[in-house]
Amino acid sequence: MGRPAKEPGHYLWDALARGHRIGVIGSSDHESTHMSYAAVYASDVTRDGIFEGLKSRRTFAATDNIVVDFRIGDAFMGQEIDIAQPPQLEVRILGTGPVRQVDIVKDGRFIYTARPQRKDVTVSYTDLESRPGATSYYYARVI
| Nearest residue to 122 via CA among 96, 84, 89 | 89
pLDDT digits (tens, 9 = 90+) for 55-84: 999 999 998 889 999 999 999 999 999 998
Q: What is the mean pLDDT of residues 18-47?
A: 86
State the average pLDDT for the chain: 90
E strand or H helix that includes residue 47: helix 47-55
Buried b (16+ CB within 10 A) or exposed e, 118-129: eeebebebebee
What is the rounded distance in angstroms from the CA atom of residue 105 to the CA atom of residue 113? Answer: 9
pLDDT digits (tens, 9 = 90+) for 92-120: 999 999 999 999 999 999 999 999 999 99
